[in-house]
Structure 1
């Protein structure tokens, strides 16, 4: 099924290239990675206990989704204390032990940071809602009702319904772009920015190597509270009121890059710190470039080019890469095919009978992209989306919009460490079911199989690290029907990658002459279904 040779690394053309440029990053969703205490929920000691598995992949860094004190209404993205670990996940001492173990294994540690909103149980909001004249009264976005008592603007929440909730304590509405228990911080307030920067310093002083910043383009709003205009007609289904508007006033304010420059000033005071922003929305590409422009802003950004795409096509790949040309001042991209918010790619992008072959081609493609690549836990196993019955749903968005929104829970199911009941996750009844199909793709089973997707993933990441062209070189992309041709180059090295993104054999495809670095799924004089080949030409 695969042929990945052993190749000596090419000479590095620039010893000063940053560690993160072209890095492979492994995302950990802590609730579902490993449960060390048997309560059904993954935790920090569980992550530490399985760190060798992550290191065996050859990735450069881990990114841990929120583990901070939280009422867990949105599973950690509603932070009640930025500077502590929620007891569900452990303690600060457990986090320190995790960092020490990761660093001992050569892994950088990135943590999630949520700067656009907090939980309504955060002490900042508790104080802010008490009155209109307390020291933190302007730390959140408050506004009077219109004369008829309706909300100050027509803005809609991502999770459904108005983005404003009435608070009788202050006699005002407060803004929340997500759940009503996630009030919006007033990012325009310098005191709020100062507090956030202090949070960053707290974690940097504990040894973290960087941050993934959640929903950064929601960090500031239009102070005039102008209504959003209606969105133009579209063929895409609209399942939420949020989908009916152009979100130009409740997010994406032009002052956000100024705050980003303050973030960069803090991280520059520490050694080799990496920052990547999640950026979604209608203007994502322009915002990602603005957030990463020059040397005074973030290092990288990633959007939703692939995360919610219905199909993986050569045209989609080339269009995404074309947004990040190798020109001065243009930022450095990061790419993810899956994450904790998006359905598993193998369930979105191919028929069930093709999943094994497709997963292998997909992993080869990810390893060949120009930019940083982010693997979501279980992607190295080819995990599929689990169908969670309504009575077992945990995801507040899915519950609110059932059945029109595909549950995020289906991509958040626990890691199967072995194929027996419970999957070795650590509890007889985990917080979400593992899914019987995924038990058959366990780490233990694939560890014992040299032809497994897990083995291929390790080989592909090693190949990427050994090749300057694949890790940080330039990219030329060409889409030809179902065939994708991707050429990567750096210095004297040129790697040509061909991918058949269809379930049909492509005949008469000229395979480049040279050293075959990788061959996946039947590559001879033709490209078999979902086949891929990389050649150092």
Structure 2
């Protein structure tokens, strides 16, 4: 593997900076707090850390509404704090990926303030503006992901502006060449500081249909990318995102990143997100890798996971140079995987098995902060809710705060050792019971399993780069075979809290167990595979 392709098959740890570690006592995590914990991050045996946005922002969407692409918000520190963090990350031989939100900005960004001031200023066309229909209604039927129309009336210009998300997040007009260049310049600002890569938020939302055509209704409502209480999934999003012009911009972006030896990871939410992912990464001239929301849903079964991975593999084969996927089963936008898939089981074998599964599918893997501790989703009462998405759809959808609560570092410390003041979100008692300090000593803790498993995985190139196929087995068993050269490894997983028995097919008989991975609860007795609840293991074929 080329040194510049460290990301291919790598494990990336996502940090939500508001909730990782507070260093100054204001109740909000910050960059110096992350710097304090780089040693902990190194101990996890991940390859890189990805930090969600820390740029200057009014925080209407907690940093995903950027007011200055080239500065750190005072909540999180300073540029000097960022440089110190980057140096510490590199000192520990880790890579640093930062989150860039290019499709839209904050409405307080100087570009938008100027754009909305008149119809003839130098930045008048830097955002997506349109006249109303003759009856005063918005120009198209496009919807916002966060609810309602994607158009907001502005009384100064007497026009509508487009926003795919909050009304305070106006969409930039990528059809304007100066907009593209300004955003590329912002990316290069961080490249010059030495970052190793970028996670590009909503990277298929950059362009809109210049003819402003209405979206048709969806043949099947999409509940993969949005909640089923959100009408956004009722449209086929043909004209408000994933436009063909975006491929040309991604090629420009890739050329810039290649000059600095940096990598890219895209977030793709679309009607066919896996097909779009293959398109955006195939050919080795756009994104290096991307992830979708397919494994971030409530759907959980062996057949569902097999179907998604197989779909991804088929999509890649359309391209002469196949793309690359980064599988994610948890992030800052969805309920924690222990709750979503494990139904809050108290069995520590569940989070161990899910980590092993997620990091041995063909591709790279993202781990979300706190999942290495086996944290469940927090239940945040409405009066403490911070997320505008949750407030809009309460109580049927409670938003994203339940997965964004502060990291519990010390069981007996106030706020779990996250801060010495009132944290911005509460730290649940269930999280304190699984605080990092309680898991440092026990060799069988979830935390120490993750450390040992990822260390073992590094010595298994077949699990990192090998081809993948599945062996059909009854639910809830997932059986995968990874092949690299002459080596074939088999991973077998019981995706349930009940014991299972399965008569091995001929192709798996004679499998020899691999040692060192730390999973337990799976053994072969003659021609029968026996699983304990949430049991799994690896064998050579």
Taking structure 2 as the reference length, the TM-score comes to 0.94
| Alpha-carbon distance in 2 for matches of 1:375, 1:353 | 19
| Alpha-carbon distance in 2 for matches of 1:353, 1:61 | 29
Q: Counterpart of 2:204 in 1: which secondary structure?
A: helix
- Please state if 1:461 is matched with 2:461: no
* Partner of residue 489 from structure 1, selected from 480, 483, 487: 483
* Match of residue 427 from structure 2: 434
* Partner of residue 55 from structure 2, selected from 68, 76, 93: 68
| Alpha-carbon distance in 2 for matches of 1:214, 1:231 | 24
- Kindly state the Cα deviation for residue 536 of structure 1 after the two structures are TM-superposed: 3.1
- Kindly state the Cα deviation for residue 476 of structure 1 after the two structures are TM-superposed: 1.2
| Alpha-carbon distance in 1 for matches of 2:356, 2:281 | 27
- Map Cα deviations across residues 87-133 of structure 1 (whole Å, 9 max, x no partner): 00000000000000000001100000001000000000001001111
* Match of residue 31 from structure 2: 44
Q: Which has the higher contact order (CA 8 A, sep 6+)?
A: 1
Taking the TM superposition and a 5 Å limit, the aligned residue runs for 1:282-361 are: 282-308=271-297, 310-325=298-313, 327=317, 328-361=320-353
* Match of residue 239 from structure 1: 229
- Kindly state the Cα deviation for residue 241 of structure 1 after the two structures are TM-superposed: 2.8
* TM-aligned CA distance change 1:278 to 1:483, over 3 Å: same
| Alpha-carbon distance in 2 for matches of 1:301, 1:523 | 32
Taking the TM superposition and a 5 Å limit, the aligned residue runs for 1:362-377 are: 362-377=354-369
| Alpha-carbon distance in 2 for matches of 1:131, 1:185 | 16
Taking the TM superposition and a 5 Å limit, the aligned residue runs for 1:73-472 are: 73-234=60-221, 238-271=228-261, 273-308=262-297, 310-325=298-313, 327=317, 328-420=320-412, 421-472=414-465
* Match of residue 539 from structure 2: 535
- Map Cα deviations across residues 487-525 of structure 1 (whole Å, 9 max, x no partner): 112223322110011222112454722433435242234
Q: Counterpart of 1:406 in 2: which secondary structure?
A: coil
| Alpha-carbon distance in 2 for matches of 1:250, 1:346 | 34
Aligned residue pair count:
522
- Map Cα deviations across residues 470-493 of structure 1 (whole Å, 9 max, x no partner): 111111123412111111122233
On the 8 A contact 2:462/2:489 being kept in 1, the answer is: yes
Q: Counterpart of 1:277 in 2: which secondary structure?
A: strand
- Kindly state the Cα deviation for residue 244 of structure 1 after the two structures are TM-superposed: 2.2
- Kindly state the Cα deviation for residue 312 of structure 1 after the two structures are TM-superposed: 2.2
- Kindly state the Cα deviation for residue 399 of structure 1 after the two structures are TM-superposed: 0.5
- Kindly state the Cα deviation for residue 55 of structure 1 after the two structures are TM-superposed: 0.5
| Alpha-carbon distance in 2 for matches of 1:24, 1:307 | 17
- Kindly state the Cα deviation for residue 15 of structure 1 after the two structures are TM-superposed: 5.7
Q: Counterpart of 2:198 in 1: which secondary structure?
A: strand
On the 8 A contact 1:324/1:330 being kept in 2, the answer is: no
On the 8 A contact 1:210/1:274 being kept in 2, the answer is: yes
On the 8 A contact 2:327/2:363 being kept in 1, the answer is: yes
- Please state if 1:505 is matched with 2:460: no
| Alpha-carbon distance in 1 for matches of 2:129, 2:299 | 41
* Match of residue 9 from structure 1: none
- Map Cα deviations across residues 252-281 of structure 1 (whole Å, 9 max, x no partner): 11110000000011011112x110100012
- Map Cα deviations across residues 30-69 of structure 1 (whole Å, 9 max, x no partner): 0000000010000000000011111101111000000000
Q: Counterpart of 1:282 in 2: which secondary structure?
A: coil
Which segment is superposed worse, 411-420 or 508-517? 508-517
- Map Cα deviations across residues 141-161 of structure 1 (whole Å, 9 max, x no partner): 000011111111111111111
* TM-aligned CA distance change 1:20 to 1:238, over 3 Å: closer
- Kindly state the Cα deviation for residue 286 of structure 1 after the two structures are TM-superposed: 1.9
- Kindly state the Cα deviation for residue 357 of structure 1 after the two structures are TM-superposed: 2.2
- Map Cα deviations across residues 328-371 of structure 1 (whole Å, 9 max, x no partner): 42200001100000110110112334542211110111121111
On the 8 A contact 1:157/1:163 being kept in 2, the answer is: yes
On the 8 A contact 1:519/1:532 being kept in 2, the answer is: no
| Alpha-carbon distance in 1 for matches of 2:378, 2:513 | 42
| Alpha-carbon distance in 2 for matches of 1:514, 1:307 | 31
| Alpha-carbon distance in 1 for matches of 2:3, 2:101 | 31
- Kindly state the Cα deviation for residue 135 of structure 1 after the two structures are TM-superposed: 0.8
* TM-aligned CA distance change 1:35 to 1:244, over 3 Å: same
On the 8 A contact 1:343/1:411 being kept in 2, the answer is: yes
Please report the RMSD computed on the Cα atoms of aligned residues, expressed in angstroms. 1.6
On the 8 A contact 2:282/2:322 being kept in 1, the answer is: yes
* Match of residue 3 from structure 1: none
* TM-aligned CA distance change 1:508 to 1:132, over 3 Å: closer
Structure 2 residue runs without a partner (length 5+): none
On the 8 A contact 2:105/2:170 being kept in 1, the answer is: yes
On the 8 A contact 1:154/1:228 being kept in 2, the answer is: yes
- Kindly state the Cα deviation for residue 246 of structure 1 after the two structures are TM-superposed: 1.4
- Please state if 1:475 is matched with 2:499: no
